Amino acid sequence: MVDEKLVKLITERVIEKIREYQTYKIPIGVSNRHVHVTKEDLEILYGPGYELTKKGDLKQPGQFASNETVTVRGPKGEFKNVRILGPVRSKSQVEISKTDSFRLGIKPPVRESGDLAGTPGVELVGPKGTVSLPEGAIVALRHIHMTPEQAMAMGVKDKDVVEVETFGERSGVFGDVLVRVSDKFSLEMHVDIDEANACALKNNDYVILRKKN
What is the rounded distance in angstroms from the CA atom of residue 147 to the CA atom of residue 156?
A: 11
Interval 79-128: pLDDT, tens? 999 999 999 999 999 999 999 999 999 999 999 999 999 999 999 999 99
Mean pLDDT of the residues in the chain: 91
What is the rounded distance in angstroms from the CA atom of residue 94 to the CA atom of residue 19?
A: 39
Residues 14-52: b if buried by 16+ CB within 10 A, e if exposed: eeeeeeeeeebebebbbbebbbbbeeebbbbbbeeebeb
What is the rounded distance in angstroms from the CA atom of residue 207 to the CA atom of residue 188?
A: 10
Mean pLDDT of 168-186: 94
- CB-based contacts of 171: which residues, under 8 Å, 6+ apart? 165, 199
